[in-house]
Structure 1
Amino acid sequence: MQTLIDDRAVKELSERFERAQPADILRWALVDSGLERVAIASAFQAEGTCVMHMAVQIRPDVPILFLETGFHFAETLGFKERLSERLGLNVVELVGDYTEDTQAAAFGPRLFERDPSRCCELNKVLPFNRALRGLDGWVTSMRRDSAWTRANAPIVEAYEHEPGLRLLKVNPIANWTKPQVWAYLREHDIPHNPLYDLGYASIGCAPCTRMVFPGEDERAGRWSGQMKTECGIHVGETRRQDEQLAD
C-alpha cells in the first residue's frame, strides 16, 4: 500500500483542485496520484452517477463500492443493474454480517427505528471500513450544498477511518451544485433513479428515507424525526469518538 501524502500536500492539492474540473480531479486520483488502490463509493444517486460516468472514461475497471444493506428500495437496486450494464461498471457489493432476519433475531425487530445509528454501523460503517483497509484512497460524490454537515468538505482530505489507519479521500464534485449535477445528466443523456421523479431528493435505505417537501433541506428525508444526519461512513474515527464522548 502506498504511503499517504503528507497533510501539507493534501491541503495544497485540495486548494488547487477548487479551480479544477471534476474529470481532471478524478484523473489525478485514479491515474496520476501514484496511489495503487483507489475505489469509488456510490449508492447510485444522481451525484454518484455523474462521478461514475466520468471515472469509467478514465479507468473503466475502477471498483465501485456499493453497500448492499438489505434495506434498499427495489427501484435503487433495479437502477443499479441498469446503469451497471450501460456503463460496464465493476461493482463490488459490500455486505454486513447480518441479514434482515438475523439482525432482528440478534438486536430485535426494526432496529432502524429504535437505534438507527447501530443499524447503520452494522450494515454500512463496519463493512465499509473492512473494504477501506485494502485501499490507498477512495472517491465520493459528496456535495457541500446538500447539507450543513457537508458544507466544509474539502476536495481532497486525509481520512482516518479507524484508529491509526489513514487514507486519501477525494470529493471531486464537492463544489458542484444540485443544478450542475442534473445538467450533467441531461447533457450526457444519463438515466437516474426513478425515485427522484416521485419527490425523493436523497435516497438511502427504504425504512429511513422519505420524500422531501418544498423548502426542506435536500437531506431532510433521511432519518426524518431522528437525531441523525449521516450514516457514519463520511464521519471518520476522530469525529465518531468525539460524538460518543458527547453522548
Structure 2
Amino acid sequence: MREVVERFGADRLALAASWQKETAVLVDLVQRFAPEARIFTLDTGVLFPQSYAVWRKVEEHYGIKVESWKGEWVDGLWDVDPDRCCTLRKVIPLQEALADADCWLTGLRRDQSPERADTPELAWDDRHGLYKAVPLATWTDKDVWNYIFERDLPYNELHDQGYSSIGCTHCTLAGAGRAGRWAGTAKSECGLHG
C-alpha cells in the first residue's frame, strides 16, 4: 500500500468499496496511509440491507463520506440479461467514478477463484485506462479476518450468515468462495475486472 501511495500520490487514488470483508481492510489501510484518497461505492439499488448498514458504519467509524455512483436501473433485468444489468449498474458507473484517478484500489484476492489466481498486485488496466492496485492479492481469507478482528473493524454481517462473496440481492446466495454469485449460471464475474 505504501508503494502505491508513493508512486501515485494519495489524492490520485480511488478505492472501490464493495462492502465485502476486503473492503473493511482496504478502507482501514487507506485511512492509515492515504486518507486523501477517494473512497466510492457502486450503489446498484439492489444491495443487501446489510451492505447499506456497513456502509453507514464505515462512514461513522472513520468520520468520512463515501461517494455513491449509480447507473441506470432497469427492474428485472437481472433475470433476463444479467450481463447487461451488471454493465448498467456497475461497469458504466465504475468508468465514471474512475475518470479523475490515476490508480484504483480493489479487494481482489488470488485465492477467491481460478479466474483471479494470476491477479497482479499492480498492473495497467486497459479496460479503464489507469493502473489497478490489488494490495490484498496475496492475502488469504484468514489474513483478512485476522486483520479485521485485530483492528475491530466494521464488516458486512452477511459474512456471519454464510456469504463468502457479496453482491446484489438478486444475484447472490450464501456459499463458499464465489459459489453463491450467479448460482446456477455460467456467469462468475460482473465485468468490473475483465
TM range (shorter): over 0.9
Asked if 1:177 corresponds to 2:151, the answer is no
Report the CA distance between 1:28 and its aligned residue.
Answer: 2.2
**Deviation (angstroms), 1:88:** 2.5
AA matched with 1:196: H
Residue 60 of structure 1 contacts residue 89 of structure 1 at CA under 8 Å; is this kept in 2?
no
CA contact (8 A) 1:39 1:139 kept: yes
Query: Which residue of the other structure, out of 23, 33, 49, is the alignment partner of 2:7?
Result: 33
CA deviation profile, 1:120-148 (whole Å, cap 9, x unmatched) = 00000011112222211101111000111
Matches within 5 A, 1:143-222: 143-162=109-128, 166-212=129-175, 216=176, 218-222=177-181
3-state SS in 1 of match to 2:83: helix
User: Alignment length, in residue pairs?
Assistant: 193
Larger gyration radius, structure 1 or structure 2: 1
Name the residue aligned to 1:128: 94
Distance 1:90 1:28, change over 3 A: farther
Partner Cα separation in structure 2 for residue 55 and residue 69 of structure 1: 23
d(CA) in 1 for partners of 2:53, 2:97: 24
The TM-score with structure 1 as length reference comes to 0.75
1:81 aligns with 2:56: yes
How far the C-alpha of 1:225 sits from its partner, in A, is: 1.1
Q: CA deviation at 1:227?
A: 1.6
TM-score for the superposition, normalised by structure 2: 0.94
Q: More displaced, 82-91 or 123-132? A: 82-91
Contact 1:67/1:95 (<8 A) preserved: yes
- The counterpart of 1:62, out of the listed 34, 37, 41, is 37
Deviation string 1:21-60 (CA, Å, 9 cap, x unpaired) is xxxxx22222x11455211111121111101101101122
Selected match of 1:44 from 19, 24, 31: 19
Unaligned 5+ segments in structure 1 are: 1-25, 105-109, 236-247
Structure 2 unaligned spans of 5+: none
Two-structure CA RMSD over aligned residues (Å): 1.4
Any runs of at least 4 consecutive aligned residues in structure 1 with deviations exceeding 4 A, and if so which?
none
Q: Partners of 1:139 and 1:174 in 2: how far apart?
A: 11
State the shift of 1:181 in Å.
0.4
Counterparts of 1:228 and 1:209 in 2: how far apart (Å)? 12
Change in Cα spacing, 1:37 to 1:208, as seen in structure 2 (3 Å) is same
* Kept after mapping to 1: 8 A contact 2:8/2:102: no
2:4–2:133 contact (8 Å) kept in structure 1: yes
* Comparing 40-49 and 57-66, the one that deviates more: 57-66
Contact kept, 8 Å, 1:56 with 1:89, in 2: the verdict is no
